[in-house]
Amino acid sequence: MFFNVKTTEEVLEIIQGFNPVEEENIDLSNASGRVLGRDMISPEDLPGFPRSSMDGFAVRAKDTFGASESLPALLELKGEVLMGQIPAVSVESGTAIRISTGGMVPEGADAVVIIEHCHLLDETTLEVMRAASPQEHIIRPGDDFARGAAVLKKGWTLRPQDIGVMAGLGILKTSVHRRPRVAVISTGDEVIPIDRKPKPGEIRDINTYTLVSFCEIEGVSPLPLGLCRDQFDPLRELIERGLREADSVWISGGSSVGTRDMTVKVLKSFPGMELLVHGISVSPGKPTILARVDSKAVFGLPGHTASAMVIAEVFLKPFLGRLAGRNPDPLRDRRFVDAVLGRNIESASGREDYIRVKLVAGEEGWVAEPLFGKSGLISTLVEGDGLVRIRRNEEGLYRGDKVRVMIL
């Protein structure tokens, strides 16, 4: 039935063979969570002037050498640096100027003594009770970024702090990959729109809603194309539309053999179609199809939502990362929690198993309780906290084994 069954590693490699979507130039204020299309270089020195990093007094460091609580240095206070302005006076030997955090260090000064180490005897006489070293509490021009320095790498997903730094550098527009668009088609003669009451034998369209939401959460624009019966012409038309309007097409099968066969048959009618994957050696989710049509990825997903969601988590997530131009990021791509397995799990060797588990707080950390049950149930989807992987060469896992749970 399946002619081109691949392993997880092979499919993940095939996925990297698709190209990211093109770049666009957008305003910084819209760039949160977007993926940089090119390396970002600092356009200027930051800061552009010497700044104080503390509240205190700008001084000449050598005027404070040897100062201590018992023998403070006495300096003449000559005024205050106003925020946002070039200081009106400069610091000469024996003098100090009051300065706030972020204030511009006046000419002549080469250190800032923090407020806690000073004592004002009267309005113009300052006691300094600690020696300052040269450049102490001063941020020099370019200390943060020198002009031309690398700030962020192409393929990086912009976090709030990255946006802030770009604002600080005066970067008003930035080149990011545009948001990929994914067409979602739901097939199966038994599948009906969710606003209809199912008659016996019918079931509501769970997969469109799940996959559309999955796209939204992953930062991709979904294009739901609706329901399609298991017939050649309507399915071909929808796939054609998806290929025209989106960057990838996901066909979530009805769960029957008929639908799966129909998807392959329709795909074969597209000139130049390459059937890259016809079955993956994972459970659940084996009946997964990946084809390249017009250089776009067309996925045929299993009809069971629980199976489709395993494929989404394991394969569609990295695929969307690739499409979005995102560099793989082991710290942020997935969320893992360490746990101890609550029950034995058997597994057929030769395939990779993903077991849905519920995480329960135990005395020594999380316990992963496998959610068994007939395949085809969807209640395990809401009960499940994550997936435990059993590798291809493992025959199972034992109660008490340490496992890494991929959080869903």
Judged by beta carbon, residue 29 or residue 393, the one nearer a second copy is 29
Encoded tokens for 85: 């302005």
- Nearest distance, CB of residue 151 and a second copy, angstroms: 6
Q: Which residue has the tokens 């668009």?
A: 181
CB-nearer residue toward a second copy: 70 or 85? 85
Q: Report the nearest approach of a second copy to the CB of residue 324 (Å).
A: 16
CB nearer to a second copy: give 74 or 407. 407
Output the smallest distance, CB 23 to a second copy, in A.
Answer: 20
Torsion from C-alpha of 236, 241, 246, 248, nearest 10 degrees:
0
> Closest Cα partner for 393 from 4, 2, 3, 9?
9
Please, what is the minimum distance in Å from the beta carbon of residue 22 to a second copy?
23
Query: Cα(first)–Cα(last) distance of the chain, in Å?
Result: 31
DSSP alpha helix (H) spans, 123-278: 160-168, 206-217, 232-245, 257-268
Which residue number, 153 or 268, has a Cβ lying nearer to a second copy? Answer: 153
The residue among 10 and 55 lying less far from a second copy, judged by its C-beta, is: 55
String of DSSP letters for 318-344: HHHHHHTTPPP-TTTS--EEEEEESS-
* CB-count burial class (<10 Å; 0-12, 13-18, 19+) for 291: buried
> Strand, coil or helix: what is 14?
helix
Helix (H, G, I), strand (E, B) or coil at 138: strand
φ/ψ of residue 62, rounded to 5:
-70, -20
Q: What is the DSSP letter of 200?
A: T
Asked whether the beta carbons of 290 and 267 are under 8 A apart, the reply is no
Closer by beta carbon to a second copy, 40 or else 293: 40
Rounded to the nearest whole angstrom, what is the least distance from the CB of residue 14 to a second copy in the complex? 24
Tell me the closest approach of the beta carbon of residue 218 to a second copy, in angstroms: 9
Instruction: Sort 192 into a burial class: Cβ within 10 Å, 0-12 / 13-18 / 19+.
Output: middle
**Residue 300 C-beta: closest distance to a second copy, Å:** 15
Task: Please say which residue, 49 or 232, places its beta carbon nearer to a second copy.
Answer: 49
CB of 328 to a second copy, least distance (A): 13
Q: Smaller CB distance to a second copy: residue 271 or 330?
A: 330
CA distance 130 to 66: 8
DSSP 77-124: EEEEPPTTS--SS---TTEEEEE-TTPBPPTT--EEEEGGGEEEEETT
- CA atoms of 351 and 280, how far apart (whole Å): 9
Quote the Cα angle for 39-44-49, to 5°. Answer: 145
CA–CA gap between residue 295 and residue 18 (Å, rounded)? 7
Could you tell me the smallest distance in angstroms from the CB atom of residue 86 to a second copy? 5
In terms of CB distance, is 187 or 293 closer to a second copy? 187
**C-beta of 214: minimal distance to a second copy in Å?**
4
> Smaller CB distance to a second copy: residue 273 or 408?
408
Whose Cβ is closer to a second copy: residue 8's or residue 259's? 259
Instruction: For residue 367, list its beta bridge partners.
Output: 340, 360
Shortest separation between residue 165's beta carbon and a second copy, angstroms: 5
3-state secondary structure of 221: strand
